[in-house]
Amino acid sequence: MKSAAERNAGHRQALAAKVLAAGIKHGKTLEAIATVPRHAFMDAGMHPQAYEDTALPIGHSQTISKPSVVARMIELLHKPKQSLGKVLEIGTGCGYQAAVLSLLSDEVYSIERIRPLHDMAREKLRPFRIKNLRLIYGDGILGLPQAAPFDAIILAAAGLGIPDALLEQLAIGGRLVAPVAKNEKEQQLIMVERMSSQRYQRTVLDEVFFVPLQSGVV
C-alpha cells in the first residue's frame, strides 16, 4: 500500500501531466507545479478536487486559479533562457501561486487586499519556510514602489486596464502578465514587455476568466 507521501507525490505528478496536456511546455514551470502540494492551500473539504485542473473557491468571493492558467501566466513571464528575478504578485489569495513562483524566482513579493486571505496565506505558507517570499497586506493596484523595479509582475485579478503604477514599477526588459476585462463577460490575457522607459509592447493572448481587480483594502 502506498504511503500518504507517495500518494501525494503521484497527485502532483498527475496534475503536472494535465498542465502539460493543456499546452504548457516550460519545463521549470511544470516542475514547480509537480512540487507544490495544491491541497495544502485549501480547506480539507476541497482536498478531493485539489489536483483537478480547475479553479476552486477559497472564500471571500475569491478562487484558487486553474493550475494550467497559473502555469500559462508564469510561462509567459519567462524570457528565453532566463530565470525570473524579482517578481511582484498582485492577489496572494491562498498563497498557492506565490509558492509556485518562489521556486522559479530570486525574490517574490505578493500583495493581498483582503485581510483574512492575507492571514490565511501566511498560515498556509508558514510550514514551507520559504525564505525568498514576502507577503504584504495592501492595495495591489498601487504596487510596491519601495521594492521596485520588478523583473516580472503577475496579476491574479482582472481590471478594465493595467494600473499605471504597475507599468511604472516594471523593469526595462521585464514582463507583466495580467487578465484584462474587455466587457462584463469577456476577459483576455495580456502580456506587456517594457522596451524602454517610455515604450511598452503589448500582446493579446488567451480568453480567460478571473475575479475582478479592486482597489483599497478590506
Q: Which is the catalytic residue, given 61, 65, 68, 83?
A: 65
Nearest to 27 by CA among 103, 98, 99: 103
Long-range contacts of 200-209, Cβ-Cβ distance < 8 Å, separation of 24 or more: 200/167, 205/76, 206/72, 208/69, 208/158, 208/179, 209/158, 209/179
Task: Determine contact, residues 192/201, Cβ cutoff 8 Å.
Answer: yes
- DSSP3 helix / strand / coil % (the chain, rounded to 5): 35, 30, 35
Contacts of 13 (CB under 8 A, 6+ apart): 34
Residue 163 in 3-state DSSP?
Answer: coil
β-pairing, 105-112 with 84-90? parallel
Active site annotation includes 197: no
β-pairing, 62-64 with 84-90? unpaired
Q: Residue written as cell 511604472?
A: 168
Please list the active-site residues: 65
